[in-house]
Amino acid sequence: MIVVTGGAGFIGSNLVAELCARGDAPVVVCDWMDAPEKSANLGKHHVEAQIEPGELWDWLDKNGNAVTAIFHMGASSSTVETNVEFILDTNLDYSLRLWRWCAANDVRLIYASSAATYGDGAAGFVDDNDPAALASLKPLNLYGWSKMAFDLNAVTLAAAGVHPPQWAGLKFFNVYGPNEYHKGGQRSLVAQLFQQISDSGGARLFRSHHPDYEDGGQLRDFVWVGDCVDIMLWLLDNPTVNGVYNVGTGQARSFADLARACFKAMGRTETIDYIDTPTNIRAHYQYFTQADMTRLRAAGYATPPTTLEDGVRRYIQDYLSTNDAHR
């Protein structure tokens, strides 16, 4: 049996879809079903059970002997959350409790970290697992800090011999794809641009306020959600691989590139307007992210990433433009 926390969310539900398609083991989803879109994310797939996060520990007491792996995708993912106690409880303490349960019960654990741990990227985007390197990171928000703190706990506990039989933390970069519709303003830029172009015929991007970047030249590592799922399943199939790893394409692309890919996938004429970046985020705005994928490649993962153009085309034509956009 495989448990997926956050299994009705964005990345989690895409993982559930593929696990159900593979049919290797019954799948149990642990998540808050607090939005109709999250229920729809699971609507096409049979899962063994759905439980709320607060019920997980009692459920594991009764069913833990049948669990072989846990994918821990659940967290508060808001980058503007300011409630420290809530973030500590939801993103750090809950995860540490799950780690210790997996270690004590010989259950594999693959969890979601985040590229938000790298802060403004001034120190680069290398997934160095040395505790000193992890501790030196400077996230820009509570969400990133909570992910960094758990990564640091993971490598420290693993070094002390307190760890699941397999463990892996995945620093997801800018993920896009189906089943993110419950995220509102936190949806990917692809989903937001699709809506803008559908409504007005044009796209709006933030103007650059950095002398080294032209308008639309801000760079991100945009990664197709299917690639993220493929990496998680590869880890499931390779139980000797452990550690914290970046999950991106390894190639930064510009906002303008992304917008052009959207226009092409929609068969629309390119029209881009640039607006000022809001002053409340301008000081901490990232102009460049790019995953260093060296360590994951060295561990044996060899599948090439989906190109931006192919991923955007698939998302728009196979999902967003259809009557049923859920996977």
Q: Which of 26, 32, 132, 130 is nearest to 73 (CA)?
A: 32
Integer Cα distance of 103 and 64 in angstroms: 12
Q: Is 171 a catalytic residue?
A: no
- E strands, 48-125, in order: 49-51, 69-72, 108-114
Q: Is residue 148 scored above 80 in pLDDT?
A: yes
Q: Tell me the sheet residues that pair with 245.
A: 170
Q: Is residue 104 scored above 80 in pLDDT?
A: yes
Q: Is residue 78 scored above 80 in pLDDT?
A: no
User: pLDDT-derived band of residue 321, with 50, 70 and 90 as boundaries?
Assistant: very high
Tell me which of 94, 111, 118, 143 is the catalytic residue. Answer: 143
Contact 178, 326 (CB under 8 A): yes
DSSP state at residue 300: T
Q: Is residue 126 scored above 90 in pLDDT?
A: yes
User: pLDDT-derived band of residue 81, with 50, 70 and 90 as boundaries?
Assistant: confident
Q: Is residue 299 scored above 80 in pLDDT?
A: yes
Integer Cα distance of 168 and 244 in angstroms: 6
Torsion sign (Cα): 94, 159, 134, 300: negative
Contact 40, 324 (CB under 8 A): no
What does the pLDDT read at residue 82? 80
User: Kindly report the CA angle at 16 between 316 and 102, in degrees rounded to 5?
Assistant: 140
As a whole number, mean pLDDT of residues 167-188 equals 96
As a whole number, mean pLDDT of residues 88-105 equals 96
Between 309 and 84, name the one with better pLDDT: 309
Integer Cα distance of 4 and 233 in angstroms: 13
Q: Tell me the sheet residues that pair with 205.
A: 274
pLDDT tens for each residue of 211-268: 999 999 999 999 999 999 999 999 999 999 999 999 999 999 999 999 999 999 999 9
What does the pLDDT read at residue 285? 84
Cβ neighbour number for residue 19 with a 10 Å cutoff: 24
pLDDT tens for each residue of 1-50: 999 999 999 999 999 999 999 998 999 999 999 889 999 999 999 999 99
What does the pLDDT read at residue 96? 97
Q: Tell me the sheet residues that pair with 254.
A: 219
Cβ neighbour number for residue 203 with a 10 Å cutoff: 25
Q: Is residue 145 scored above 80 in pLDDT?
A: yes
Q: Is residue 274 scored above 80 in pLDDT?
A: yes
User: pLDDT-derived band of residue 185, with 50, 70 and 90 as boundaries?
Assistant: confident
What percent of the chain is modeled with pLDDT above 70?
A: 100
Task: Set out the domains of the chain in order of their start, with CATH numbers.
Answer: 2-175+223-250+290-305 (3.40.50.720), 180-220+252-289+312-320 (3.90.25.10)
As a whole number, mean pLDDT of residues 74-82 equals 81
Integer Cα distance of 161 and 199 in angstroms: 55
Q: Which of 112, 106, 127 is nearest to 168 (CA)?
A: 112
- E strands, the chain, in order: 2-5, 27-30, 49-51, 69-72, 108-114, 167-172, 174-176, 203-206, 219-220, 222-224, 243-247, 253-254, 272-275
pLDDT tens for each residue of 201-224: 999 999 999 999 999 999 999 999
Q: Is 183 a catalytic residue?
A: yes
Q: Is residue 77 scored above 80 in pLDDT?
A: no
Q: Is residue 60 scored above 90 in pLDDT?
A: yes
